Structure 1
Amino acid sequence: MTFEDDELYRDITGFAHDTPTWVQHTAEVWTEAGILLFGALFVVAWWRSRRGSHRAFAIAALAPVATGVAYVCSELLKSGFTQERPCRAVAGAVPSLVECPPTGDWSFPSNHATIAGASAVTLALVRRAVVWLTAPLALLMALSRVFVGVHYPHDVAAGLLLGALVAAVAVRLGTRPVTRLTEAMRASSAPAVRWLTGPGPAAVPATAYVTSHRRR
């Protein structure tokens, strides 16, 4: 299957070569480091959710799992489309800023963009306000894959969409059973299990409850 965006690819990679060296180096680092940043955000989301409701913890726990499911779907699609990388296939394009992946490491869809789209959506499901952070980060990560020359624009667009859709469905389907599992784990007698899930919402002290009612 082929798409007609060779010219757009040439325009973007040509522009990339005209940017200052520090911009190119930043893109080269970010295109890989973005995954690590999303991983760190998953850890923060898990830690904060340890004092949240059973459902909140379940969604935070599902976020990286759903992202992994989206990645697997992306890999399966790659095996079906077997589209060559643009850094080898597009005639007249400038050399990619990073090493072109070997033949057999197919281009469509972009795994990095899939992970970015899935991470952005699942983290926003954990805490809606962070979408203002995760969405721009996902877009920058996806665009960086074209900027450094290893993906077509349609690769990253499809990856973002695939990641967002698969991860959102995975979280929706898994929330109820994982919420029940969280409740059971928080009631466990094993300290390690209780530490992993956290104590849940802080209980209102009985003295505070009595005092508040006396004031009424």
Structure 2
Amino acid sequence: MTFEDDELYRDITGFAHDTPTWVQHTVEVWTEAGILLFGALFVAAWWRSRRGSSQAFAIAVLAPVATVVAYVCSELLKSGFTEERPCRAVAAAVPSLAECPPTGDWSFPSNHATIAGASAVTLALIRRVIVWLTAPLALLMAFSRIFVGVHYPHDVAAGLLLGAVVAATAVHLGRRPATRLAEAMRASPAPAVRWLTGPGPAMPPAAAAYAPSHRRR
């Protein structure tokens, strides 16, 4: 299956070839390294949530899981649409900056854009203000996939939307059971489990005096 945005693809990839070499190399690095940055943000969100409420901790843990679910959905869609990569299919286009994936590694939707959209939304669910960081990062990652020549514009638009919707839905559906699990784990006598989930919010001195001894260690 194909869509008609070949001209826009040619315009963007032509612009990419006209940019300085350092810009091209920076985008080539970012298009892959951006996923690592989102991963680091997930780790930071988990660490911070260890001193938050059980629900906040549950959402922080669900965020990367929901992103993986969105990625799996994008892979399933790829196998259904079997759209050839534009770096191979678009006539009169300049060569892609990144190596063109082989036939069988289909184009629609973009996995990178799906991960970016899912990460941006779920991180914002953990802490709303961070959307001012995650949304631009997701858009930059999506655009980079066109810039380096391995995706059509509609691939990344669909990926962003798919990732955002699927991941937000997964977090919504899993929030309550994950919160109950977090509460149970925080009550566990096992030190490793309590370290993983964190102590939760700091208790007032009066309440701490009546807390079970294993919660005060």
Unaligned runs of 5+ in 2: 210-217
Question: What is aligned with 1:45?
Answer: 45
Q: CA deviation at 1:207?
A: 9.2
Tell me the amino acid that sits aligned with residue 55 of structure 1. Answer: Q
Q: CA deviation at 1:151?
A: 0.1
**What SS is found at the alignment partner of 1:39?**
helix
1:22 aligns with 2:22: yes
**What SS is found at the alignment partner of 1:143?**
helix
Correspondence list, 1:141-152, <5 A = 141-152=141-152
Question: What is aligned with 2:170?
Answer: 170
**What SS is found at the alignment partner of 1:167?**
helix
Q: CA deviation at 1:179?
A: 0.1
Q: CA deviation at 1:203?
A: 0.5
1:96 aligns with 2:96: yes
In the alignment, the residues of structure 2 paired with residue 133 and residue 179 of structure 1 have an alpha-carbon distance, to the nearest angstrom, of: 26
Q: Deviation per CA, 1:37-81, whole angstroms, max 9, x where unpaired?
A: 000000000000000000000000000000000000000000000
In the alignment, the residues of structure 2 paired with residue 46 and residue 165 of structure 1 have an alpha-carbon distance, to the nearest angstrom, of: 22
Normalized against structure 2, the TM-score is what?
Answer: 0.95
1:4 aligns with 2:4: yes
Tell me the amino acid that sits aligned with residue 8 of structure 1. Answer: L
Correspondence list, 1:27-176, <5 A = 27-176=27-176
Q: CA deviation at 1:124?
A: 0.1
**What SS is found at the alignment partner of 1:200?**
coil
Question: What is aligned with 2:212?
Answer: none
Question: What is aligned with 1:182?
Answer: 182
In the alignment, the residues of structure 1 paired with residue 147 and residue 122 of structure 2 have an alpha-carbon distance, to the nearest angstrom, of: 25
In the alignment, the residues of structure 1 paired with residue 208 and residue 28 of structure 2 have an alpha-carbon distance, to the nearest angstrom, of: 55
Tell me the amino acid that sits aligned with residue 94 of structure 1. Answer: V
- Residues 95 and 197 of structure 1: CA distance in aligned 2, closer, same or farther (over 3 Å): same
Q: CA deviation at 1:2?
A: 1.5
Q: CA deviation at 1:208?
A: 10
In the alignment, the residues of structure 1 paired with residue 28 and residue 41 of structure 2 have an alpha-carbon distance, to the nearest angstrom, of: 21
**CA RMSD, aligned part only?**
1.2
In the alignment, the residues of structure 2 paired with residue 176 and residue 208 of structure 1 have an alpha-carbon distance, to the nearest angstrom, of: 26
In the alignment, the residues of structure 2 paired with residue 3 and residue 204 of structure 1 have an alpha-carbon distance, to the nearest angstrom, of: 60
- Residues 207 and 118 of structure 1: CA distance in aligned 2, closer, same or farther (over 3 Å): closer
Of all paired residues, the percent bearing the same amino acid is 88
